[in-house]
Amino acid sequence: MGSVVILGVVTSIGSVVLFNGMNQINAFSYDLTFHDKPKNEAFRENLMFEHVRFEPGTDQIILYLANIGTTESTIESITVVKIDTQNILVNWDESVGTTIQIKESSDPVIINANLNSQTWDDPTYRTSEYKISITTSKGNFFSTVASPYNT
């Protein structure tokens, strides 16, 4: 009989402590959402390269991007580096900033590479791999490696 009474007292006091602690944790989490909003938004940003097209006969690269995060993204810079020679072929900055809406594919981003009057069909560029890097206005960095043709 005494065990049942003690069990009832411990259960009731334990429930009060548990629910009070959970409420405090929820209040703390809620306060954190307002503490550093830009940093919280940066954690929720995520871009995905859907497709990279090296336009044949030209020096253009067409990037199809999707925002799979939960906040809007703004591209600040795009760089394309030829991996084998480390030459920077594209150094695009925010002067033509592009906004990518939440959970949608964007309009393609078209950029011109510095190929010295050559095209992607030229053997110098045709067989290489290229690292494409995007930096957003929230300070996040996304990159992929692509090649003009599957050789």
- pLDDT for 111-146, tens place per residue? 889 888 899 988 889 889 999 999 888 889 999 999
What pTM was estimated for this model as a whole? 0.70
Render pLDDT for 25-57 as a digit per residue (tens, 0 to 9).
Answer: 888 777 766 666 667 777 788 889 999 999 998
139: alpha, beta or left? (left if phi > 0; alpha if psi -120 to 50) = left
CB atoms < 10 A from the CB of 29, how many? 9
C-alpha span between 65 and 53 (Å, rounded): 12
DSSP 88: E
Nearest-5° Cα angle at 69, 67 to 74: 55
